[in-house]
Each structure stands twice: as structure tokens, then as C-alpha cells.
């Protein structure tokens, strides 16, 4: 592992002690999160990543409320792949704009009696 200056170490440690997680420290220090993870592990520090135990329920509620994967990932600060996996586990496909347009076209065809 590349040696860092005492000042850089002190800055990272201050952010860590303030409760920042790897991504937050990395963002503020201008490095990749895995760099911070390696630094933290080499210094015997545990992770400050937020617990994801309540995340499942929050994401499921957002899915039921009709939010898109992108909206949920931004609201809950999680990756879209986690949202997609939760959606698949729930057997609840994403309602994209294309899907909504198709549903509207089908509905309009039913009402007007035209072929969709």
C-alpha cells in the first residue's frame, strides 16, 4: 500500500472519527472508496457503513409507492442493482415510461374499441 502523508492520515482519521463512512471520506479526500477501505483496514478501524437492515423495508415501500429504480437509489443512497434485486425478489417489475405508455394505449383501445 502506498504511504500517505501524516497530514492525509490525520484528515482521514478526523473524518472517520466524525462518523463518516468510506464513501464520504473518499469523496472529501478525492480518492476512491476502496482506497479508504484499505487504509481503514490497515489501521484496524471498523466500518461506519450504515446498517442496511431497515433498507429492505424502505426500498420495498418505495417500490410499492411506484418510484423508479433510479429515484429509489437516489432517495435511499443505495445502488440501483440493490433496488433491481429487491424488485425481482418481490416479483414487482419496474413501471417504466414505455410500460406506462403501452398501458395507456391498451386502455384507450379498450375504451374506443380500436385495435392496440
Instruction: List the domain range (segments joined by +) for residue 35.
Output: 6-42
Q: Is residue 86 part of a domain?
A: yes
Residues 59 and 38 grouped into a single domain: no
34 and 64 share one domain: no
Residue 116: per-residue pLDDT: 46
* 36 in Cβ contact with 43 (< 8 Å): no
* Beta-carbon-side half-sphere exposure of residue 2 (alpha carbons within 13 Å): 6
Contacts of 69 by beta carbon, 8 Å cutoff, 6+ apart: 80, 83, 84, 87, 94
Cα of 35 vs its chain's centroid, Å = 20
Q: Which of 88, 32, 16 is nearest to 59 (CA)?
A: 88
| 37 lies in the same domain as 60 | no
Whether the per-residue pLDDT at 43 is higher than 70: the answer is yes
Cα–Cα distance measured from residue 16 to residue 31, given in angstroms and rounded to the nearest whole number: 15
More confident site: 30 or 75: 30
Number of domains in the chain: 2
pLDDT (tens digit, 9 = 90+) per residue, 54-113?
778 888 899 889 888 888 888 887 788 888 888 888 888 776 666 667 777 887 888 887
Q: Is 23 strand, coil or helix?
A: helix
Is 9's pLDDT higher than 90?
yes
Range scoring the smallest mean pLDDT among 22-31, 32-41, 91-100: 91-100
3-state SS class at 71:
helix
Give domain status of residue 63, yes or no.
yes
* pTM reported for the whole predicted model: 0.45
Amino acid at each position: 500500500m502506498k504511504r500517505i502523508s501524516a497530514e492525509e492520515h490525520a484528515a482521514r482519521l478526523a473524518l472517520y472519527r466524525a462518523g463518516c463512512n468510506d464513501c464520504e471520506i473518499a469523496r472529501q479526500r478525492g480518492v476512491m472508496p476502496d482506497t479508504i477501505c484499505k487504509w481503514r483496514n490497515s489501521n484496524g478501524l471498523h466500518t461506519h457503513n450504515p446498517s442496511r437492515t431497515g433498507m429492505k423495508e424502505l426500498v420495498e415501500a418505495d417500490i410499492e409507492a411506484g418510484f423508479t429504480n433510479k429515484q429509489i437509489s437516489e432517495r435511499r443512497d443505495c445502488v440501483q442493482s440493490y433496488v433491481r434485486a429487491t424488485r425481482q425478489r418481490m416479483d414487482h417489475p419496474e413501471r417504466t415510461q414505455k410500460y406506462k405508455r403501452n398501458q395507456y394505449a391498451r386502455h384507450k383501445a379498450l375504451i374506443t374499441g380500436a385495435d392496440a
